[in-house]
Amino acid sequence: MWDIVVVGSMMMDLVSTVERLPKVGETIHGISFEHNYGGKGANQCVAAASLGATTAMVGLVGEDSYGKKYLRHLRELEIGEGSTSGIDLEQVFQTSKAMTGIASIWVDGQGNNSIIITAGANSDLKVSDLKGADHLLKKAKMIVCQLEIPIETTLEVLRRAKEYGCRSIFNPAPAVKDLPAEFLSYSDILCANETEAELLCGFPVDTDDACQRALAFLLERGPNTAIITLGERGAVFATKDSPKTQFVTVDQVKVVDTTGAGDAFVGALAHFLVADPEGEGKLREAVRKACKYASLTVQFPGSQKSFPAIENMMADFFD
């Protein structure tokens, strides 16, 4: 049995570091450029594995050099000292019909980023491709999915999770306007940031009162748990059983790069919920630890390469 199965995207990140983001029509000099490994699905899978979860990935890359490099990266990824990834890649395939997904990322001097994604092979991950992954979904303790693959595929994953009695985390990112209502009704745990919550709810989610309204709105539409991440302010959550909004704060840190921080949160959340699954208090602890893990990743550049393995962290980090 796998702790966590992630169905989602795999992207090659093309990262330019700049002093500031360019204005429309402006050309500016960059400070540095590098290739990193990203994509929300793979990021979340790597984050969970880095914390000790047994994970499996379901995804698609191209038969190009980026796709080959990505698969080699995941196979050779060191999760802890002297160990290799342990991420099950049985259901990660290459296709000749599309290139590997690309994310063009600009990171400014304050660590803020702007991202353009070209889904590539991720757009070819069809519902029919889930047939081979069904045994993974049936045995998973937690299923995680997002919106960088076709929405009908993600919806089918959530539907099967509910059918199989498996807990699921749905991360509605990138944000999609007018998302079908079935996504919320099939989701067990909905985890969105403020922008994504605003699109789902139809009103700005930029104050504490608005967060409370948004959580109530989302819970009425299906999920058992709703979580809204607030960046440097932490997160808020509520459940159907305990609908009172709970706020979780996080210590302020020096931000270098926020790329992948939301994915680090989702992957960490999945891990901590599987590792210690019972009760409202356990949920608060999982959210708190996920916030703390995400706040650590923003202090380093990149997405997956900024995700520390549990073996390389101070023993009392999550205390």
Per-residue pLDDT at 91: 96
* pLDDT exceeds cutoff 50 at 84: no
* 309 neighbors 78 (Cβ within 8 angstroms): yes
Whether 157 has a pLDDT exceeding 70, the answer reads yes
- Per DSSP, the three-state class of 126 is coil
Q: pLDDT tens digit string along 193-244?
A: 999 999 999 999 999 999 999 999 999 999 999 999 999 999 999 999 999 9
DSSP state of 152: H
Predicted pLDDT of residue 79: 60
Contacts of residue 12, Cβ cutoff 8 Å, sequence gap at least 6: 35, 36, 37, 38, 66, 69, 70, 100, 101, 102, 103
Whole-model pTM over 0.85: yes
Please, which residues have CB within 8 angstroms of residue 179's CB and are 6 or more apart in sequence?
Answer: 151, 172, 199, 200
Rounded-to-integer distance, Cα 3 and Cα 6, Å:
10
Whole-number pLDDT of residue 80:
47
Question: CA 125, 119, 146, 54 torsion: positive or negative?
Answer: positive
Question: Which of 39-43, 135-139, 304-308 shows the lowest per-residue confidence on average (mean pLDDT)?
Answer: 304-308
Q: Which of 191, 223, 153, 136 has the alpha carbon at shortest distance from 8?
A: 153
Q: For residue 81, is pLDDT > 60?
A: no
- Which of 3, 129, 188, 263 does the annotation list as catalytic? 263
Tell me the pLDDT of the chain averaged across its residues: 92
| In the predicted structure, residue 289 carries a pLDDT above the cut 80 | yes
Rounded to an integer, the average pLDDT of 250-273 is: 93
Q: Tokens for 278, please give them.
A: 């019972």
The answer to whether residue 263 is catalytic is: yes
Residue 53 above 60 pLDDT? yes
Evaluate if residue 83 carries a pLDDT over 70.
Answer: no
Range 28-36 average pLDDT: 94
| Residue in this structure with the two tokens 């919106």, named with its chain if needed | 147
Question: Token pair for residue 5?
Answer: 């199965």
What is d(CA 317, CA 319) in angstroms, rounded to the nearest whole number? Answer: 6
Is omega for the bond preceding 277 within 30 degrees of 0, making it cis?
no
Q: Is the pLDDT of residue 49 over 60?
A: yes
What would the two tokens of residue 166 be? 């498996």
What does the pLDDT look like over 236-249, one tens digit per residue? 999 999 999 999 99
55 by Cβ neighbours in 10 Å (0-12 / 13-18 / 19+) ranks as buried
| Angle, CA 314 vertex, CA 265 and CA 303 arms, to 5° | 35
Residue 124 has pLDDT above 90, yes or no: yes
| Cα–Cα distance measured from residue 205 to residue 182, given in angstroms and rounded to the nearest whole number | 22
Residue 82: band (very low, low, confident or very high) from pLDDT cuts 50, 70, 90:
very low
The angle at the Cα of 124, spanning 194 to 69, to the nearest 5 degrees, equals 85
pLDDT for the residue 85: 52
Is 311 a residue whose pLDDT tops 90? Answer: no
